């Protein structure tokens, strides 16, 4: 399933033909990603219609290199600077909330040290969250399906979920182990009978593992197991608990919010690298935020 970047419109006189010596400004990257200028993005953020846009830096800066990542963490910023990049395209918020609420952190030492690092490295951080999810095909979902090698098994797609049908059924615990290995995850969680056979799988990335989005899938007779990033533990897990206690073959696998979306940001880096061949584009993975004890 080949797709293009979130938007392919050109801005500022660019042509579709790349050259090895072309330079780009931050504003040109913004326009290519969002199909609007920086001022429009700022207005939309103020209106609360999107969280996307330039979080730090100036639109007229020449891009020396780009990094994509799930989040622009302290380590990711440091790594980007070491690579010679001055632009990070991150999926999640820079300062610990979905909406930009940095005004509440002005005296916080963690916030101040991170801001100092951003200023010292002259890092320009772009948030790409809504646009990449709102494409005709959710590009974050696409990245996960590619990593799991399930693109050819897709039987249903909507703006929020995908259903895949495996060539043959697999036992639940074996399925979970394969997913863990393919994602290089530290751990994943599952609910259900480990010996349950699974063939039709519903997939929800990120924080879509809620009852509102998940129950319509799990309640279907043709869906054996639901794979989600994360969601409230008192919703879908409790549904699966009751279903199993009633003798029903239903299961849930929670792979983690970041683990479900990292592949999409890695795939984004690959597509950006092919588009901007005069700029070094790299993907920097975030370290797991939780550890088992």
Share of the chain above pLDDT 90, in %: 80
pTM of the model: 0.89
Q: Where among 81, 113, 134 does a domain terminate? A: 134
Indicate the residue among 102, 117, 134 that finishes a domain: 134
Check whether 80 has a pLDDT greater than 90: yes
Q: Which of 27-41, 116-130, 263-277 has the lowest mean pLDDT?
A: 27-41
- Mean pLDDT of all residues in the chain? 91
For residue 16, what pLDDT is reported?
45
Domain that holds residue 65: 26-134
N-terminal to C-terminal alpha carbon distance within the chain: 40
Examine the pLDDT at 37 and tell me if it is beyond 90.
no
Instruction: Judge if 246 and 220 occupy the same domain.
Output: yes
pLDDT over threshold 70, residue 7: no
Are residues 184 and 80 part of one domain? no
Same domain assignment for residues 155 and 77: no
| 145-161 pLDDT, tens digit each | 999 999 999 999 999 99
- pLDDT value of position 98: 85
d(CA 221, CA 199): 12
pLDDT given at position 20: 67
C-alpha 278/C-alpha 182 separation (Å) is: 31
pLDDT of residue 11 exceeding 80: no
Residue 288 included in any domain: no
- pLDDT, mean of residues 53-75: 96
CATH of the domain at 254: 3.40.1390.30
Q: Do 149 and 89 sit in the same domain of this protein?
A: no
CB 186 within 8 A of CB 179: no
In a domain, 40, yes or no: yes
Residues 186 and 254 reside in one and the same domain: yes
Residues 178, 153, single domain; the answer is yes
Cβ-based neighbour number of residue 14 at 10 Å = 14
Q: Look at strands 251-254 and 225-228 and give their pairing.
A: parallel
Per-residue pLDDT tens over the stretch 266-280: 999 999 999 999 999
Tell me whether residue 15 is in a domain.
no
**Rounded CA separation 236/141 (Å):** 20
- Together in a domain, 167 and 213: yes
**pLDDT at position 137:** 79
Checking if the pLDDT of 121 tops 90, the result is: yes
Same domain? 200 vs 224: yes
Asked whether the predicted pLDDT for residue 14 surpasses 90, the reply is: no
Q: Which pLDDT belongs to residue 74?
A: 97
**What is the count of structural domains for the chain?**
2
Q: What is the helix (H) or strand (E) element at residue 293, kind and residue range?
A: none
């Amino acid at each position: 399933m080949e797709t293009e970047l979130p938007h392919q419109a050109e801005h500022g006189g660019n042509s579709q033909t790349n050259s090895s010596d072309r330079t780009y400004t931050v504003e040109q990257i913004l326009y290519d990603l969002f199909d609007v200028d920086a001022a429009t993005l700022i207005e939309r953020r103020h209106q609360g219609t999107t969280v996307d846009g330039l979080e730090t830096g100036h639109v007229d800066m020449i891009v020396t290199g780009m990094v994509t990542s799930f989040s622009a963490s302290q380590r990711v910023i440091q790594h980007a600077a070491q690579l010679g990049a001055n632009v990070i395209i991150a999926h999640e918020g820079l300062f610990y909330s979905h909406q930009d609420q940095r005004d509440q952190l002005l005296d916080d030492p963690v916030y101040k040290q991170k801001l100092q690092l951003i200023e010292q490295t002259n890092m320009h951080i772009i948030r790409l969250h809504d646009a990449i999810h709102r494409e005709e095909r959710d590009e974050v979902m696409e990245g996960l399906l590619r990593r799991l090698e399930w693109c050819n098994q897709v039987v249903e797609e909507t703006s929020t979920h995908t259903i895949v049908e495996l060539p043959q059924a697999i036992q639940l615990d074996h399925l979970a182990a394969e997913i863990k290995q393919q994602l290089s995850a530290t751990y994943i969680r599952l609910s259900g009978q480990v010996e349950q056979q699974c063939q039709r799988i519903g997939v929800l990335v990120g924080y879509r593992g809620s009852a509102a989005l998940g129950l319509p899938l799990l309640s279907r007779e043709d869906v054996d197991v639901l794979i989600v990033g994360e969601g409230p533990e008192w919703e879908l897990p409790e549904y699966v608990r009751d279903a199993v206690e009633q003798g029903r073959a239903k299961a849930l696998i929670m792979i983690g919010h970041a683990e479900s979306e990292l592949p999409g940001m890695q795939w984004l880096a690959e597509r950006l690298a092919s588009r901007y061949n005069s700029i070094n584009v790299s993907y920097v993975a975030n370290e797991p935020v939780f550890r088992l004890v």
